[in-house]
């Protein structure tokens, strides 16, 4: 008998049929002898709809009230799932984040978990009941309802699995697991049966949308085994765990493309101490999330600095950079919206020379120009033109032998 935390995302509980299907699955797992604790997201696009509604009645949208509103989505899904479980003869109790013992800071709309005291959840399990917890929510020390942020239900599930010392945290979604590349772009992409935490984290950071990076980080720190799987096929998906020494390491695990960033270049910058510090402090104070940074070798004491950042931050960044350029003696500021980044991830890269060379040769053979390069021990990323992104992703997937069959 194992204690399992099962998290169901918005598409998994999008309508009454889906809610009943999830209830069937929970009942099946119980019959097999597992103890199940459930975490649910809001149904379908409900979180977006609630946010939209808030925008229709308010310009200011105060955080405390937003959190009260948004968390109602998960609460509704939890209550409905419990009703469906009761109909199947499975005793089940819904809990808000607060009732489930999630204490968070008071940073509304993006609260951090401070502590989980899941006493009521534990008692429900001991009594043979299924606790169904509203995801992405908690209560602040001031006893206000808080929301953990978009996609926070994954974090709720992992934190609960950790607090309950569950055997595994299953993240159910609308895809059957983690793939070697996005199957919509690379039809020959394969589902991985296993991936290591460090590789999955690099893939998340490179733009792989699921699971949520924050949840994967939490799971790695607290040693919670994850199983990413589909609530549409119910087939086994991808297991995420620490390095398995018996496993031969693949050199490359996956290829991730990301078109969500833009590039800014400041040219003719005097190469003196303190210039980069000034620039990036200013951007940090604006809350801009700078990603890759490249500074050229200086030529006669003059250099260029380029960096990438989310599209949404581009206007603010251009305004700040243009404003600063004169002051630091730079000659120009330009931006490019249409960039893409292709990243290759694999733990075996560390001990296999020639990966970078193969990446560059492959891109060259496909006439793709590289604008920026950055690496970690287990990742190589290249910034290229956005129009080349899909082609480059497919080519690298093939070049590194990841294609199916
Ligand atoms: N429903 C929330 C969202 O869409 C939280 C979650 O599902 O994880 O962001
Ligand atoms: Mg772009």
Which residue, judged by its Cα, is nearest atom 7 of ligand 1?
A: 41
Ligand with smallest separation from the Cα of 134: 1
Q: How far is the CA of 71 from the centre of ligand 1 (A)?
A: 9
Tabulate helix, strand, coil % of the chain (nearest 5). 40, 25, 35
Three-state SS annotation for 203-223: HHHCCCCCCCHHHHHHHHHCC
pLDDT value of residue 249: 66
pLDDT value of residue 123: 98
Contacts with 259 (C-beta within 8 Å, 6 or more apart), sequence order: 339, 340, 341, 386, 389
Residue-averaged pLDDT of the chain: 95
> What would the mean pLDDT of 9-13 be, rounded to a whole number?
97
Residues of the chain above pLDDT 90, percent: 88
Is pLDDT above 70 for 146? yes
CB atoms within 10 A of CB 329: 12
Q: How far is the CA of 404 from the centre of ligand 2 (A)?
A: 29
Which residue, judged by its Cα, is nearest atom 9 of ligand 1?
A: 150
Q: How far apart are CA 137 and CA 100, in angstroms?
A: 10
Q: How confident is the model at residue 57 (pLDDT cuts 50, 70, 90)?
A: very high
Task: Report which ligand 1 atom has the smallest distance to the Cα of 153.
Answer: 8
Is pLDDT above 80 for 231? yes
pLDDT value of residue 1: 79
Is pLDDT above 90 for 247? no
> What would the mean pLDDT of 42-71 be, rounded to a whole number?
98
Chain segment 265-311, per-residue pLDDT in tens: 999 999 889 988 999 999 999 999 999 999 888 888 999 999 999 99
In 3D, which of 217, 62, 220 has the Cα closest to residue 147? 62
pLDDT value of residue 348: 87
pLDDT value of residue 353: 84
Q: How confident is the model at residue 245 (pLDDT cuts 50, 70, 90)?
A: low
Q: For residue 336, how far is the Cα from the chain centroid?
A: 25
Contacts with 403 (C-beta within 8 Å, 6 or more apart), sequence order: 186, 188, 190, 397
Query: Who has greater pLDDT, 86 or 348?
Result: 86
Chain segment 60-101, per-residue pLDDT in tens: 999 999 999 999 999 999 999 999 999 999 999 999 999 999
pLDDT value of residue 244: 66
**153: Cβ below 6 Å to ligand 1?**
yes
**212: Cβ below 6 Å to ligand 1?**
no
pTM score: 0.91
pLDDT value of residue 307: 95
Is pLDDT above 80 for 387? yes
CATH number of the domain located at residue range(s) 3-174 in this protein: 3.40.1160.10
Residues, beta carbon < 5 Å, ion ligand 2: 259, 386
Chain segment 249-272, per-residue pLDDT in tens: 678 999 999 999 999 999 999 988
Of 140-144, 274-278, 317-321, the poorest mean pLDDT is in: 274-278
pLDDT value of residue 248: 62
Residues of the chain above pLDDT 70, percent: 98
Q: How far apart are CA 344 and CA 402, in angstroms?
A: 11
């Amino acid at each position: 008998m194992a204690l399992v935390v099962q998290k169901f995302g918005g598409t998994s509980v999008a309508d009454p049929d889906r809610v009943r299907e999830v209830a069937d699955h929970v009942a099946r797992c119980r019959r097999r002898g597992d103890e199940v604790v459930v975490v649910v997201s809001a149904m379908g696009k409900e979180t977006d709809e609630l946010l939209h509604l808030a925008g229709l009645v308010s310009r200011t949208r105060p955080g405390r009230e937003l959190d009260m509103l948004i968390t109602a989505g998960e609460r509704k899904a939890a209550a409905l799932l419990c009703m469906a479980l009761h109909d199947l003869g499975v005793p089940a109790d819904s809990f808000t984040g607060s009732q489930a013992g999630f204490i968070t800071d008071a940073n509304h709309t993006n609260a951090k978990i401070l502590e989980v005291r899941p006493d009521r959840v534990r008692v429900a399990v001991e009594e043979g009941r299924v606790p169904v917890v509203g995801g992405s929510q908690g209560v602040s020390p001031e006893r206000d309802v808080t929301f953990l942020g978009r996609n926070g239900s994954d974090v709720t599930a992992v934190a609960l699995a950790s607090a309950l010392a569950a055997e595994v945290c299953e993240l159910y979604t609308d895809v059957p697991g983690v793939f070697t590349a996005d199957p919509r772009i690379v039809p020959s992409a394969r589902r991985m049966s296993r991936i290591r935490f460090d590789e999955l984290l690099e893939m998340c950071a490179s733009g792989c949308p699921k699971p949520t990076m924050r949840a994967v980080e939490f799971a790695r720190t607290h040693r919670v085994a994850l199983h990413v799987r589909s609530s549409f096929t119910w087939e086994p998906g991808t297991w995420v765990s620490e390095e398995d020494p018996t496993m031969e390491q693949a050199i490359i695990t996956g290829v991730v493309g990301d078109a969500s960033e833009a590039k800014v270049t400041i040219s003719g910058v005097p190469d003196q101490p303190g210039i980069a510090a000034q620039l990036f402090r200013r951007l940090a104070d604006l809350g801009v999330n700078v990603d890759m940074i490249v500074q050229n070798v200086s030529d006669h004491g003059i250099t260029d600095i380029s960096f990438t950042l989310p599209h949404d931050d581009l206007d603010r960044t251009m305004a700040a950079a243009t404003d600063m350029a004169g002051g630091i003696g730079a000659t120009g500021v330009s931006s490019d919206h249409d960039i893409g980044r292709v990243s290759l991830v694999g733990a075996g890269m560390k001990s296999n020379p020639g990966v970078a060379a193969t990446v560059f040769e492959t891109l060259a053979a496909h006439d793709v120009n590289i604008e920026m390069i950055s690496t970690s021990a287990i990742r190589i990323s290249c910034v290229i033109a956005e129009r080349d992104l899909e082609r480059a992703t497919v080519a690298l997937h093939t070049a590194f032998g990841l294609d199916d069959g």
